[in-house]
Amino acid sequence: MNRCNDWENILNLANEELGKHGVSIRITEPEEDGYYSCEIWKNGELVELYAENYYEDELSGLVTDVWHYAITQYVIKAR
């Protein structure tokens, strides 16, 4: 199976685009449990905990999903 897990680059691209609209995505580093969480921020405030309990090898797909969701919910609908 071929796995591409370049989630950090995908996150940077997403935040570059979303940042033009005051929106950002943050992936929290795991503490003791080893799971990651994903948050959406707008104008410096947390607006949504999008997902939690993800493993690192699932983050590329998660970041892509939240990127599209954030565009729809916090950019397009905000117009």
Whether 1 maps to a domain, the answer reads no
Digit-coded pLDDT (tens) for 16-71: 999 999 999 999 987 778 899 999 999 999 999 999 999 999 999 999 999 999 99
2 exposure class (CB count in 10 Å sphere: 0-12, 13-18, 19+):
exposed
Write the CA distances from 28 to 32, 54, 76, 78, integer angstroms.
Answer: 12, 10, 25, 25
Q: From CA 67, how far away is CA 61, in angstroms rounded?
A: 10
Q: What is the pLDDT of residue 75?
A: 93
CATH number for 71 = 3.30.720
31 compared with 1, residue with greater pLDDT: 31
Q: Is residue 34 part of a domain?
A: yes
Per the domain annotation, does 2 fall within a domain?
no
Which residues form the domain of 56?
7-76
Of 43, 77, 70, the closest CA to residue 62 belongs to 70
pTM exceeds 0.85, yes or no: yes
Residue 24, beta-bridge partner list: 41
